Structure 1
């Protein structure tokens, strides 16, 4: 396993590293810089080459010192830990959205006001990355293209929006969006919807 991989084995890797306090957030299944750093720490502590990638020797050593993760360890219901905010999120009013930690942080002048778990589009319909602005808000929207409800929709890039997803709430990361940023906590999103204004910045980053 290496940087850029995204699968269930990566999720298991993260859960096992978390048992040893090398990984301090909920498993996401995505192998990014945070996971690479955790792997390097594990390798160096056990006398393995600190490559940040998982070879057979690293995997076997990890299996030997951890237990098979439970379903709750693999997909905990608690909110994912935020990673270090992108530099573009540090000024003004920003929806700071991290694909690596799968979180949305509502930030004002560099301070986190609230945060929530999110999921993104599939490989065929990816969520666009970059800096955008909220161009419209619709409290009770409906997707004519996909025939699904989109409550508390905040549009930022053509048809892509932050919105509540009952499917995400029910299935977690087993599913995906058609490009939108799905939120599974309706109560948190409802409060956020009332605070965000058209023209506020949106940053989507790894």
Structure 2
């Protein structure tokens, strides 16, 4: 009898006092803030890209769709604005996905770094099929009066930690191709103004390209940077 009472007491301690008590509430789901960006200069272009009604006016649906696109492409800030930064990332992604958009750059059996000044995008390709060996990325080329030189070029000097004595700015991962003009990284905004003639890339992109190319590598540069006369 004493053994039975002890067992009942132990069981009563193991059972919750109130069988009807609710479980602890789960953490509230994170709610994405409302998308509030207004109409921006590349509204129509992004509406076409996203197959939205093309009216050139930002709607709540447009804003949300553009923000999802920015998140997919890694555009920061992902705020839903149809700005130049987002448009250039869209152009680079389109070139990556569609080999037909790489035809302006000559197909060669060797590696060619392609610099499209009109679309402000750089990539590297190889072979008759224009196989990508460096995916397209946005760039910033020379501003009006200091345009990046066009045509066939060749990497003749590499300097990981170059510093410009002319402009007094660092030029990390510099790869010179024509006089003082080089491919190199910058922390400046790629989507405003222009360089002194160099082809500027985001630091991470410049580092990856530096590690890929070697002295003697060929570049092909063509087109005209929007807003310049050359």
The answer to whether TM tops 0.5 is yes
Say whether residues 1:192 and 2:209 are aligned partners. Answer: yes
Match of 1:183 in 2: 201
The residue that corresponds to 2:218 in the other structure is 201
Deviations 1:101-140 (A, max 9, x none): 2111022222112222101111121111110111111000
Q: Alignment RMSD, CA only? A: 2.5
Change (3 A) 1:85 1:149: farther
Write the distance in 2 (CA, Å) between the matches of 1:108 and 1:137: 21
8 Å CA contact 1:142–1:148 kept in 2: the answer is: yes
How many Å apart are 1:73 and its aligned residue?
1.2
Using a 3 Å threshold, how does the CA distance of structure 1 residues 118 and 85 change in structure 2: closer, same or farther?
farther
The offset of 1:174, in angstroms, is: 1.5
Report the TM-score, using the length of structure 2 for normalisation.
Answer: 0.59
Deviation at 1:15, TM superposition (A): 3.2
Unmatched tracts of structure 1, length 5 or more: 1-10, 24-61
Q: Structure 1's 100 and 140: CA in aligned 2 closer, same or farther, altered over 3 A? A: same
Q: 1:160 aligns with which of 178, 181, 187?
A: 181
* Alpha-carbon spacing, 1:20–1:84, altered in 2? closer, same or farther (3 Å): same
Q: Would you say 1:174 and 2:192 are equivalent positions?
A: yes
Equivalent residues in 2 for 1:3-14 (5 A)?
A: 12=41, 14=42
SS in 2 for 1:119: coil
Q: Hey, what's the Cα distance between the residues in 2 that align with 1:194 and 1:20?
A: 36
Tell me, yes or no, if the aligned pair for 1:85 and 1:96 is still in contact at 8 Å. no
Q: 2:133 aligns with which of 105, 113, 116?
A: 113
Return 5+ residue gaps in structure 2 as ranges: 1-39, 64-79, 96-100, 224-230
1: distance between equivalents of 2:160 and 2:143?
A: 25
**C-alpha distance in structure 2 between counterparts of 1:189 and 1:102, whole Å:** 15
Q: 1:117 to 1:127 in 2, by over 3 A?
A: same
Query: What secondary structure, in the 3-state scheme, does the structure 1 residue paired with 2:81 have?
Result: helix
Check 1:91–1:205 CA distance in 2 against 1; reply closer, same or farther (3 A cut). farther
Instruction: Give how far 1:172 is off.
Output: 3.1
Query: How far is 1:164 from its partner?
Result: 0.2
